[in-house]
Amino acid sequence: MLQHLSIRNYALIRSLEVDWAEGFSVITGETGAGKSILLGALGLVLGQRADSGILFDKSKKCAIEARFNVQGMDMERFATTENEEEAPAFDIEDGILVLRREILPNGKSRAFVNDTPVTLTLLKEVASGLVDIHSQHQTLTLNTSAFQLNLIDSYLDDNLLPLRYQQAYSAYGKVRQEVERLEAKVARGRQEEDYWQFLWEELEKFDPKPGEQEAMEEALERLSHGEQLKETLSEAVSVLDTEEFSLRSRLESMVRSLRKVAPYHKGVDESLERWDSLLVELADLSGDLERWSEEDLDDPALKGQYEERLDELYRLERKHRVQDEEGLIALKAELERKLAQVEDSSEALQEARKKLSSMEEELQTLADGLHQARSLSAGRLQEAIVGALGRLGMGQSRLEIVLEPQMQFGPTGKDKAIFLFSANPGSAPKELAKVASGGELSRLMLAIKSVIHRKSFIGTLILDEIDTGVSGRIAGKVAAMMREMSRYMQVVAITHLPQIAAAAEAHFFVYKTLKDGVGVSDMKRLDRREHVESIAGMLGNGELKPAAIQAAEELVEEACGKQEPRRDQRDQKE
């Protein structure tokens, strides 16, 4: 339960300390006094988002702290980590849990649990097991199928069934996305495959070779100047070797003469090695010239082959916008890769489809099990809510909870929940949004809260004007329901109805005052006299007439006289 709430520098609240009571408490006050601000502050410490715009003094931080008694509640699961070597997220001592939220002037926020810094996500998760704040907006969400299905799930015997389905659905969704991605990829590949295949076959047929372009261009250049080359090479061979006084023979004769006089001149002797090397090199060059001169340098057929292949090579290079045959070779390899990828994607698609089919069967099994469990839950929930409605003066009303099977899997299963309601005897139940008035919706929501929280472990329920549209005799029944709920949990109701305020064990009054010329909100707990006078003010439109005070006394006496001990008190007596 919520024991203490401390608020500093939040909206119209400069500083506020509240010690909360067990059982049933009410908060009253004039419209605009700051009741919604109080809930906003509590929501902030429970994990809601905020910014620096909520600061009372823009130069100082906002700090909100809530202390809870969590004895008997399963909160240790939040304090531990999955990794046994890591330190616990936070410590819980003597069953006390303190949540703190700070909003800095720069808009940044910090969250703490028992003075240990935590993430906002963890703070919110911890708070979800401590407090349920019912807002007026939540009454409107009662008309939505998602909210109705969530109510059915909260009444399941095995509350892990929806989680197991959601985990399987999440995995199924990822595989389905992969199948869709592969389908799109294969479809794109199939569209391009024939074209890629045509390009590849064209290159495969041509079969470009590394370096062939340069080689063919050089060969074609030789063939184009074959006659000139042959004439020049033959003349060079003749000059070197075949003429009577050839260059080579004259040099050999000269070297022989030098060798004879070498013993008489050191320089000549040393140069002989170089002359010998020159003769060897000249012999090699002569051999090369002779071999080249014997080549067929005037072959029109070979020239035509080179010209034809080079023309095709140039055409392919222009077509594919590459510089040389290396670009064509790389393109061919890329086309091979794409064609193989299409084939690989097709195989991967087949495997993914098989996996998806298997997961779909598993998901269908889970959905069927969840539907059966929900059917049982819906029947029990319907019976319990109808019983609670009877205690709220709606004994003639009818509620039917229908589970409508859906064709497709959804995040919550294959069920659509429909709450059919009729407040009048003889009228066929219809969808809530079409038949229920504001007051009927408020009572229905209160009945639902009373039923749901009997099964839950929420320690504190805060009801924000859930009595909207209710008055007179029915208000007393609503008060009785809240008192009944307070035997199992701490209940705090924001109300404008005297009948509900009269039933409270603790009465808090929100008011606005001027401090240093600035309007600020504050709250105090009323004593017995103030409690009666506040109720009298509600009855007398703000005037404390003797009749109103007497009526208020009677309301309080009647409510207190009927009040039963809380569950923990009865358990102690037993």
CA distances from 174 to 180, 262, 366, 415 (A): 10, 94, 17, 21
Q: Which residues of the chain have pLDDT under 50?
A: 82-87, 568-574
CA angle, corner 331, sides to 329 and 334, nearest 5?
A: 115
Smallest CA-to-CA distance from 315 within 221, 419, 206, 402 is with 206
| 116 DSSP β-pair partners | 113
Distance CA 551, CA 214 (A): 113
Q: Give 334's Cβ-side CA count (13 Å radius).
A: 8
Q: Which two tokens stand for residue 479?
A: 């008060």
Contacts of 286 (CB under 8 A, 6+ apart): 237, 240, 241, 248
Cut 0.85: pTM above it: no
Cβ burial 308-338 (10 Å sphere, 16+ → b, else e)? ebbeebeebbeeeeeeebeebbebbeebeeb
pLDDT at 80: 57
Percent of the chain with pLDDT over 70: 92
Task: Tell me the one-letter amino acid at 521.
Answer: S
What letter would DSSP give residue 427? P
For 428-497, give the DSSP string.
PPEEHHHH--HHHHHHHHHHHHHHHHHHS---EEEEESTTTT--HHHHHHHHHHHHHHTTTSEEEEE---
531 in Cβ contact with 47 (< 8 Å): no
Q: In this structure, are strands 116-118 and 109-113 parallel, antiparallel, or unpaired?
A: antiparallel
Residues present in the chain in total: 574
Smallest CA-to-CA distance from 254 within 236, 237, 239, 276 is with 276
Instruction: For helices 145-154 and 325-391, give the axis angle rounded to 10 degrees.
Output: 70
Q: Give 77's Cβ-side CA count (13 Å radius).
A: 7
What letter would DSSP give residue 86? S
Rg (CA), the chain: 47
Contacts of 497 (CB under 8 A, 6+ apart): 467, 470, 471, 475, 478, 479, 538
Smallest CA-to-CA distance from 45 within 80, 84, 18, 77 is with 18
Distance CA 534, CA 29 (A): 9
Task: Tell me the one-letter amino acid at 306.
Answer: Y
Distance CA 20, CA 28 (A): 14
